[in-house]
Homo-oligomer: A and B are copies of this chain.
């Protein structure tokens, strides 16, 4: 699919210009720039911080307060054992390969993709076809800087390359190495094949404490801290299910070679929700009804499998009813995510929810839908909404012996018939000596159907043989006099279960970047100056709500500015005074670039009759009224009860020349 990024007003978006503006206005800046910078690390400046704060405020209200979630704030430092259990030590890795000559390092899948795409491009040129400009994918790093050479390929080869590219996320490290060899893929910079790829774990390692005996990592997600606190949270929630915990905090990924600006960084802010739900009864959600009519744009797994990208716009109620979205809880959160993105000002035409393919899901996920936002880098995953099933709670419970379960009193006692194993401990211990514990664990790890078979074996042969991974040779034979295996029926009053987890996980930095692209346009769209950029953030999240601009730096204006500033602050409206010596037009332009929705001008008439003017960033139109009227208007625009159109219809227009001349 070819996509071209557009501004808020639909014109082509020039990312270079926008990026220069965002840096000039210090929305963000590369970290440690005077030391040469470090790729993948960025700082936010004042407007970036304020925008982030505004988005987090909305997030906190929309999710934590509105849904009574239990917020936790856990440490970033995480001991090795926790992340070993969660699977991150073994599986949270990318394949990396190195050029044998210049030492350049590539992510193996990106390296292969890039070279094969180049060959296909060369083939198209050789065939005289125009190469289709593919939507840029931020996952790819244009590192090899290879130019396509017009070489025609066999049709069979073209098809083979295309199949490889379609499955690129599917290969493991060894297979990627085989592809590099098979197609003789070379680094254009040196003309050499890179060394065989190796796994590179993406976690930052460190050592906790003075004696280096406690290896640890910077967490790759905030989720683990929430899982480890599950029992305490359930207790805090007075044992009531379902409930959700939430956490806002930094996470870390030691990307192999980060590019794509703010979209692929090594240190980033996440906001994650872990909603704990009973796996029985279809994962219903008590408030699903409130969102069932919310319309979402969905791109499901089947559509993608058929090689297409067409989307359907359906209500979430329908999507859950027809099984496109697996259950109410997952559906509820997709709708809530959509409403959140809408609230902060994300362009409604640039959101879609894409279901993960089976092979691209994280190791812990059972199902996953991403909220993707369309930017000049293509469709970007900004919010993941995964069903982690009972994976994490189960593995931590198993590893630590902690009871990470819910105990629910049954309305009626039930009878349970199960195969049970008794051990004759007096004989068992002495028989196995040091292997006793390992054999016992293996024995109790058997499923009901295995036990049924074992009971049969025992009756028939007088002994059983089981898999026992921790014992030498991996198997153990148990004589019949050490154990008993019987089917018994017992009465239970309490049901125990491990909750499943639905996890909406927000990449705040990515959302902020998409929001900046979606809010950007230039005055050229209104027939004005192309070089005048505007960021039309909604007042809720705008870094500063009001800029106060005296006509000049005449001392007479100072007390008026200060007084209005204080009054606005008292009603909770953030504002700044700009009394620099630039023209009013320039000062307003600066604040258009900062996304300040409203501007107040103090002029000589203010001194005479105390009236002030209020300017709208988006239309540059102004009204003039008394201070009280203007303050009331500001308050209602900022808290969202009125729009600028309402204000314009209520208060007299002001045709101030000074600002318009400068802008047009």
**CB within 8 Å for A29 and B210 given contacts A65-B569, A74-B43, A396-B34:** no
Q: For the complex, give the distance between the alpha carbons of A206 and B201 in Å.
A: 14
In the assembled complex, A323 has its CB within 8 A of some CB on chain B: no
In the assembled complex, A44 has its CB within 8 A of some CB on chain B: yes
Q: Least Cβ distance of A44 to chain B in Å?
A: 4
Tell me which of B34, B65, B206, B214 contacts A38 (CB under 8 A).
B214
Q: For the complex, give the distance between the alpha carbons of A215 and B31 in Å.
A: 15
Q: Residue-by-residue, is A76-96 near B (CB-CB < 8 Å gives 1, otherwise 0)?
A: 111101100000000000001
By a CB distance below 8 angstroms, the chain B residues around A46 are 70-72, 233, 236
Q: Least Cβ distance of A362 to chain B in Å?
A: 21
Q: For the complex, give the distance between the alpha carbons of A65 and B53 in Å.
A: 13
**CB within 8 Å for A236 and B26 given contacts A206-B204, A257-B210:** yes
By a CB distance below 8 angstroms, the chain B residues around A218 are 206, 218
Residue of B nearest to A402 (CB): B34
Interface residues of A in 450-499 (CB under 8 A from B): none
**CB within 8 Å for A77 and B204 given contacts A50-B71, A71-B49, A210-B105:** yes
By a CB distance below 8 angstroms, the chain B residues around A431 are none
Q: Least Cβ distance of A210 to chain B in Å?
A: 5
By a CB distance below 8 angstroms, the chain B residues around A53 are 60, 71
In the assembled complex, A191 has its CB within 8 A of some CB on chain B: no
Minimum-distance CB pairs A-B, first 9: A34-B402, A49-B71, A44-B73, A43-B74, A46-B70, A34-B400, A41-B75, A204-B206, A206-B206
- A residues neighboring B (CB under 8 Å): 25-26, 29, 31-35, 38-39, 41-46, 48-50, 52-53, 60, 65-66, 68, 70-79, 81-82, 96, 103, 105, 200, 204-211, 214, 216, 218, 225, 228-229, 231-233, 235-236, 238, 240, 250, 252, 254, 256-257, 266-267, 396, 400, 402, 404, 569, 574, 576, 578, 580
Q: Could you pull out 21 A-B pairs where Cβ atoms are within 8 angstroms?
A: A25-B236, A31-B75, A32-B78, A34-B402, A35-B228, A38-B77, A38-B208, A45-B70, A45-B229, A46-B71, A50-B71, A76-B267, A77-B204, A105-B211, A204-B207, A204-B208, A206-B206, A209-B256, A210-B256, A210-B257, A240-B580
